[in-house]
Amino acid sequence: MSDTTAQAATKSRPWRQRIDLPVVTAFGCIVILLAIGSLYSPNFLSPEYLLQQLKVGAFLGVIATGMMLVILLGQIDLSVPWTVTLGAMMASAAVSWGPAGEVFAIPFGVLCGIAIGLVNGIGVAYLRIPSMIITLAVNAVAQGLMVAYTGGFAPQDSASAAMKVLAAQSTFGVPHAVLVWVVVGALAVFMLTRTTFGRAVYGIGNKEVAAYLSGVPTQRVVMIAFALCGGLAAFGGVLLAGYAGKAAQSMGDAYLLPAIAAVVLGGTSILGGRGSYLGTVAGVILITLLQSILSVMQIAEFGRQIIYGVVIIGMLLLYGRSGKVSS
């Protein structure tokens, strides 16, 4: 009796278990934001405007994908700002090395990001330094490297043609950046749901001891996840450089808080182990729309910062509370 129900359930998991409350809430908020926006401007609901928002969101989406991976582990990556910048600068730098550099610009930028992520990963997984601390330190080192490399000025190298095609151009009205995000997202969903690595990530985020005692190479998984996060942050930087035509100092600073916020608002637990990529997509769109509406409503930067902070704390209080410590 019980086995037949079990069999039936394995075949089709009921919807209510796949869609959790935060994701529904996030999508609900998106609808509300769109409604509010359309009151201000009628072309808020036009396909062009929405595609434009998706394009802007795509950069954050790529960066947030890596951040989500790390947060699923119950960790955090605060080195994202300068990893983004480093990816952008290194990819652009490769261009200036001639035709070969032009070809290798994107992989080189991403590889540099992976290297940064590996340092984070080794620190967290093998040296067991709290992730927020080691990633802060690595962020400082990445900044130091880039400042020393550029001399503190805006770098003169411009993005490669491929970077510009990927980030700034469109085909049949569909921005390539959106397609890139779709591909990255599809790979992320596949990795999280269909690979042993993805299962291990969720397992470690839920209970690292249990994952370790199940014979999962927890340290290696954590290290790889940080490397992927670094790689994706750098890739985001590469796209941003392609979008703007060149890299800039501190270009990544504006992406740390939104990336964390997008992941958390999408229902991924800041303590790890719980969350779906769909939620992160919702979170990214939500953040992007929020930014857009705040600027349409002509709310100044200070207002955006305050609203950001308040929204994140509010959502965290709803979903992200840790259990009572004592007794």
Q: Residues 29 to 48: which contact other proteins by CB under 8 A?
A: none
Exactly one of 140, 165, 186, 297 binds other proteins (CB under 8 A); which one? 140
CA 65 – CA 45 distance, rounded (Å): 26
Helical residues (DSSP H) of 21-130, grouped into ranges: 21-40, 47-72, 80-95, 99-125
Measured from the CB atom, the residue of 167 and 290 that comes closer to other proteins is 290
Question: 222 to each of 110, 145, 262, how far by Cα in Å?
Answer: 19, 25, 21
Instruction: State yes or no: residue 197 binds other proteins (CB under 8 A).
Output: yes
Q: Which residues pair with 175 in a beta bridge?
A: 170
Measured from the CB atom, the residue of 156 and 170 that comes closer to other proteins is 156
Instruction: State yes or no: residue 321 binds other proteins (CB under 8 A).
Output: yes
Q: In the bound complex, what is the minimum distance in angstroms from residue 168's beta carbon to other proteins?
A: 27
Number of residues that bind other proteins (CB under 8 A): 89
Exactly one of 53, 143, 276, 292 binds other proteins (CB under 8 A); which one? 143
Measured from the CB atom, the residue of 87 and 272 that comes closer to other proteins is 272
The contacts of residue 37 (CB under 8 Å, 6+ apart) are 44, 45, 289, 292, 293, 296
Q: Per CB under 8 A, which region of 40-48, 93-101, 128-136, 287-295 contacts other proteins?
A: 128-136
Q: Residues 69 to 88: which contact other proteins by CB under 8 A?
A: 76
Instruction: State yes or no: residue 138 binds other proteins (CB under 8 A).
Output: yes
Exactly one of 43, 46, 214, 295 binds other proteins (CB under 8 A); which one? 214
Q: Residues 281 to 300: which contact other proteins by CB under 8 A?
A: 300
User: Using alpha carbons only, what angle is made at residue 311 by residues 308 and 312, rounded to the nearest 5 degrees?
Assistant: 85
Exactly one of 147, 161, 183, 187 binds other proteins (CB under 8 A); which one? 147
Q: In the bound complex, what is the minimum distance in angstroms from residue 290's beta carbon to other proteins?
A: 13
Q: In the bound complex, what is the minimum distance in angstroms from residue 279's beta carbon to other proteins?
A: 15
Q: Are 81 and 139 in contact (CB under 8 A)?
A: yes
Q: Are 84 and 231 in contact (CB under 8 A)?
A: no
- Provide the 3-class DSSP secondary structure of residue 171: strand
Residue 269 φ then ψ, to 5° = -70, 135
Measured from the CB atom, the residue of 100 and 317 that comes closer to other proteins is 317
CA 237 – CA 113 distance, rounded (Å): 9
Exactly one of 46, 170, 195, 295 binds other proteins (CB under 8 A); which one? 195
Instruction: State yes or no: residue 253 binds other proteins (CB under 8 A).
Output: yes
Measured from the CB atom, the residue of 157 and 208 that comes closer to other proteins is 208
User: Sign of torsion, CA 71 72 74 79?
Assistant: negative
Count Cβ atoms below 10 Å from residue 144 Cβ, excluding itself: 11
Q: Residues 223 to 252: which contact other proteins by CB under 8 A?
A: 250
Q: Residues 52 to 71: which contact other proteins by CB under 8 A?
A: none
Q: Residues 154 to 193: which contact other proteins by CB under 8 A?
A: none
DSSP notation for 42-72: GGGGSHHHHHHHHHHHHHHHHHHHHHHHHHH
